Structure formats: C-alpha cells, structure tokens
Amino acid sequence: MTSVEKLTKSFEILKIPVQSYSDEQRKNDLKILNKKDKITHLNLVCENIVAQNVREAEHFSRNLGLAIETFLVFFDDEDRDVYFVAEECLNKIFKTFMDNYLIRFPADLYRFMKKNGPERSLKAALTRFAEICHFIKPQKCRIYVDFMIKDNILSKIAKRSEESIQSVLVDSMNRICATFCPSMTDQEIHLLIQSFLPNLSNNSSVNSYRRVSANCLSLICLYTASPLKSYHYLHGELLNLIHPIDENIEFGEFYYVFV
C-alpha cells in the first residue's frame, strides 16, 4: 500500500472531513474507534503527509488541509492522550511545511475557524491563525477581510461562552486586527464594530465576556488606518446604546438631555 493510500485510509477511518460538529453526531462517528486506533491513525496521517511521494502526488494541498483538520478535530477528544498526540502531530506538520506552505496554513486555519467547532479545537485554530497571520502578504489581506466581514467569523467566536476561548480572544484579536484592520474600509470597520456591540449587553455568566468584547472593540479601532475616526464612530454607537440619538439634534439640546 502506497503512502497516499495509507493516508486516504486513515482519513476514512477517522471520519475526515467532518460532516457534522455536533457533539452527539461526532461521538456516534467515532464510537467504533478506541484510543489505540485513534493514536495509531493520527500518527499515520502525520507520518504519511510528510512522505516525499505524497508531497509530489496530485491533490497534495487538499490532503495537507485534511491533515490539519484531522489534528484540530482531535484536540477536542475526551481522552487527553489522544489530544496530546494530535497537538504533537500538528506542531510537527507546521514545523515541517512552514517554509514552503506558509501561505496555505492561514487559509486552512481560517476555514476551520469558520466552522465554529468544538471548544479546544477552535481555540487551537484561533491562536495559531493569530500567530501566523502577519506573514500574509498585504495584497492577500483583502481576500481575508472580504471573508471575515461576509462570514462575521470574529464576532461569532467572541459570542462563545467558554472561558478558554475568552481567555485567548484579546491576544488573538490584537494580532489579527494589527494585520487586517489597516486594509479595511470605513464601512467594513463600522460593520465589524456593529457585530461586536451586542456582546456588551449579553447576560452571560462568564465574568470576562463583556470586558473581552470591549477590549476587542478598542483593538479594532486602534489598528485602523484612521484610529481617531474609528474611535469617534465607536463612541457614537456606545452613546446610542445608552440613549438613542437623533442625528438632527443640536449639540445644546443633546447636552441638555444628559444634564
């Protein structure tokens, strides 16, 4: 059996690509696999994806993307040993292919983030995307910006209530905003700000939830091409949350409302 065939077989056994990220469905898909099988096939994926004949084979880029998805998916496995193997394999893949496939990795990680999947898997994808997104060429940033605004992915992740995701969100947003916000138009910045505003009034029991969203809004404004202009827009939106403002009102009348 060739390395490509072994790789394909391991993908099939591990149910990759994932069709559903619901906990119940995923458990049903993997209940026939024991811990030993999972670890064996994770290692086989890692071993075969770096094989020279696999690199030279057709559809290598697709197989590399599936390998990354495989390891990220098993970050959320209930067995910690499986998680550790998945993490080790993913780190090895990044180290092996970083020089030649640096442009590819952010795309695969973003594609996984878009699925808004299980907690540990999403956290791993988000933090790694944030760590390497500054390598994206400026002319390519526009492609990501278009998808980010269209998919509304950042605010969707910010709505996640898990403490582990909230704990890395500000640092990740700091890096992501530094890379992408300078190339956004005013309209795109406004849309991004508006997508985060509902989080400020969320009644989540997570103590850091609203504070994290507030920090994210500040970072969005900080890294735009015109920070003061963006902060001015944000302040107006925040005031409007407190008291709806008539755009035609005179400043004196507006001041009188609050005194």
Asked if 97 and 126 sit in the same domain, the reply is no
Other Cβ atoms within 10 Å of 31 Cβ, number: 8
Asked if 128 and 234 sit in the same domain, the reply is yes
Other Cβ atoms within 10 Å of 127 Cβ, number: 16
Asked if 123 and 191 sit in the same domain, the reply is yes
Q: What is the pLDDT of residue 251?
A: 45
Asked if 38 and 131 sit in the same domain, the reply is no
Listed residue (104, 105, 100, 116) closest to 154, CA to CA: 116
Domain boundary among 70, 101, 132: 101
Asked if 130 and 93 sit in the same domain, the reply is no
pLDDT tens for the 259 residues of the chain, in order: 789 999 999 999 998 887 665 656 666 666 678 899 999 999 999 999 999 999 988 889 999 999 999 999 999 998 999 999 999 999 999 999 988 888 889 999 999 999 998 999 999 999 999 999 999 998 899 999 999 999 999 999 999 989 899 999 999 999 999 999 999 999 999 999 999 999 888 776 666 788 999 999 999 999 999 999 999 999 999 988 887 655 555 545 444 444 4
Domain assignment present for 113: no
Q: What is the pLDDT of residue 240?
A: 87
Identify whether the C-beta of residue 80 lies closer than 8 Å to the C-beta of residue 33.
no
What is the C-alpha to C-alpha distance for residues 169 and 219, in angstroms, rounded to an integer?
A: 11
- DSSP per position, 195-216: HHGGGGG---S-TTHHHHHHHH
Overall domain count for the chain: 2
* DSSP 8-state symbol, 259: -
Asked if 140 and 241 sit in the same domain, the reply is yes
- DSSP per position, 49-97: HTSHHHHTSTTHHHHHHHHHHHHHHGGG-SSHHHHHHHHHHHHHHHHHH
Domain assignment present for 111: no
Domain assignment present for 227: yes
Listed residue (145, 232, 236, 222) closest to 184, CA to CA: 145
Domain assignment present for 114: no
Rounded to the nearest 10°, the torsion over CA 78, 82, 87, 88 is 170
- Token pair listed for 222: 């900080």
Listed residue (21, 68, 29, 62) closest to 45, CA to CA: 68
* DSSP 8-state symbol, 42: H
Domain assignment present for 230: yes
- Token pair listed for 189: 């910045």
Identify whether the C-beta of residue 10 lies closer than 8 Å to the C-beta of residue 37.
no
Asked if 157 and 256 sit in the same domain, the reply is yes
Where in the sequence is the domain holding 77, given as residue range(s)? Answer: 1-101
Asked if 141 and 184 sit in the same domain, the reply is yes
Q: What is the pLDDT of residue 255?
A: 45
What is the C-alpha to C-alpha distance for residues 66 and 243, in angstroms, rounded to an integer?
A: 49
Beta strand extents in the chain (DSSP E only): none
Domain assignment present for 108: no
Asked if 149 and 32 sit in the same domain, the reply is no
Asked if 70 and 124 sit in the same domain, the reply is no
Asked if 29 and 73 sit in the same domain, the reply is yes
Domain assignment present for 107: no
Identify whether the C-beta of residue 135 lies closer than 8 Å to the C-beta of residue 180.
no
Asked if 93 and 132 sit in the same domain, the reply is no
Domain boundary among 101, 134, 153: 101
Domain assignment present for 106: no
